[in-house]
Amino acid sequence: MFKFYCDDSGTHSQSDIAVAACFVAEPIQWEHFVKDWNRANDAENFGVFHMTDFVAKKKQFASPEWQDDEKRNRTIKRLINIIITRRRMGFFAAVEKAGYDAEVPQDLRDRFKLGNNHYTFAVRMCLAKVLKWRMKYGYTEPVQFVFDQISKGTGDIGAVFERALEEGNAEALVHGITRETGWSFQSKAVVLPLQAADILAWEALHHTQKVYLPDAKQTPRKSYLALVERAMDKGYHDRETLRNWVAHVRGRIRK
């Protein structure tokens, strides 16, 4: 069995991009991940790691000890090394909200249980990447899917999984979905791999907004480059790619 952990970024109304970011690995690797993460926490005392707070130096990262650049660099480098050592594969999908609103019609949102939440569509795109990865390597084991509990669209995400099961158990298992392993919404304060997904989600959103999209591009963050150097399937969905996705789906429906 594999375990999949997913978090979001950019789902607040001020962001023009929504991101779903996920990691998958075998349970034994996640057990080692938790031990490694706890050792790092014992050494650096970061508590529950939220990348937004870390970058903005808010909450626990507002304390004097976290103004030390050497400590900050050492900590994020250590956490990313843990992530890239323990994950089997990573995925993220960044979705242009205005493009989704304009190009994805209501009938397809209803048919595929996407709702009106941009994050749900980003999750859907990540699940498609998981399917591609499974088919490439011939994986047939079920996947246990875990999402951060405060992510938007929990009901819509649940509906995506329910719809997959309605297609039949065998068809759902192709995607790694079973009712036994299921899907759940957990706290990243308790389920530590969600903190890894949090870091990837923030890095993906920042890279999309500051490096990928602008004409005047910022220098890519070293932390982002380390995360995506290998074993990463990433995608950006703007108005054009969403229009193409709609055409592709309509073509499959007509067959």
| pLDDT tens per residue across span 30-88 | 999 999 999 999 999 999 999 999 999 999 999 999 999 999 999 999 999 999 999 99
233 contacts 132 by C-beta, under 8 angstroms:
yes
**Domains annotated on the chain, with CATH:** 2-254 (3.30.420.10)
What pLDDT digit, counting tens, does each position of 153-179 carry? 678 899 889 989 998 999 999 999 999
pTM of the model: 0.95
Tokens of 102: 């304009």
Helix, strand, coil content of the chain in percent (nearest 5): 55, 15, 25
**First CA to last CA across the chain, in angstroms?**
34
